[in-house]
Chain A
Amino acid sequence: NAGVTQTPKFQVLKTGQSMTLQCAQDMNHEYMSWYRQDPGMGLRLIHYSVGAGITDQGEVPNGYNVSRSTTEDFPLRLLSAAPSQTSVYFCASSYSMTDTQYFGPGTRLTVL
């Protein structure tokens, strides 16, 4: 099993550009989530999904869109990148919302 994979590992964007961070898991997990980690702020939940076709907002959803068309994939879209979205992004998955989560390796995003 590859576990939770994220692409790309690093990305530099200009303000206003859009992009999609990819997240995939091969463990047949129903629950998937996206977090951002910033110095001094710790980890914060952006969006989560309890299964294909179902998504919901976390603590800091503004500026991000998600969709869950399959169990395996949970992409995070930045619609119009802003410098405030410079961060490290982690995707995670688990069998259910209350189970142990498995984290991807992270994507380091810089918005200039």
Chain B
Amino acid sequence: KNEVEQSPQNLTAQEGEFITINCSYSVGISALHWLQQHPGGGIVSLFMLSSGKKKHGRLIATINIQEKHSSLHITASHPRDSAVYICAVRSIRVFGAGTILRVKS
């Protein structure tokens, strides 16, 4: 079993929809990272979470340490949000497989 599992693998949404991407992990962690990889290939760190919730613009990340689960939410989705979203643990040494998000206009 992988240490980090993401769901869904693929997600297609209409512009304006609320999107949720999930990440579950099986190891003890001090922090979980959410990364965004654009179609051009560049990788950007979105959030680093050790507890609770963080918000940046239309992006919200939450983590429940007891349940070993994190979610990434996108409110009012837009085509420019189309990307691969990756969660990572253990100081960005172990990665989920990524969620491919496509937002249609």
Q: Scan residues 94-112 of chain A and give those whose CB is less than 8 A from a CB of chain B.
A: 97-103, 105-106
If A98-B30, A99-B48, A100-B48 touch, whether A105 touches B41 (CB-CB below 8 Å) is yes
B76 at the binding interface (Cβ < 8 Å): no
Contact with A along B67-102 (1 / 0, CB 8 A): 000000000000000000010100111011110000
Contact A42 B42, beta carbon cutoff 8 Å: no
Q: Scan residues 1-55 of chain B and give those whose CB is less than 8 A from a CB of chain A.
A: 30-31, 33, 41-45, 48
A27 at the binding interface (Cβ < 8 Å): no
In the complex, how many angstroms separate the beta carbon of A87 from the nearest chain B beta carbon? 12
In the complex, how many angstroms separate the beta carbon of A43 from the nearest chain B beta carbon? 5
Which secondary structure characterizes the binding site on chain B?
loop
29 A-B residue pairings within 8 Å (CB atoms):
A42-B86, A42-B95, A42-B96, A42-B97, A42-B98, A43-B95, A44-B95, A45-B92, A45-B93, A48-B93, A58-B93, A59-B93, A88-B41, A90-B43, A92-B43, A97-B91, A98-B30, A99-B48, A100-B48, A101-B33, A101-B45, A102-B45, A103-B42, A103-B43, A103-B44, A103-B45, A105-B42, A106-B41, A106-B43
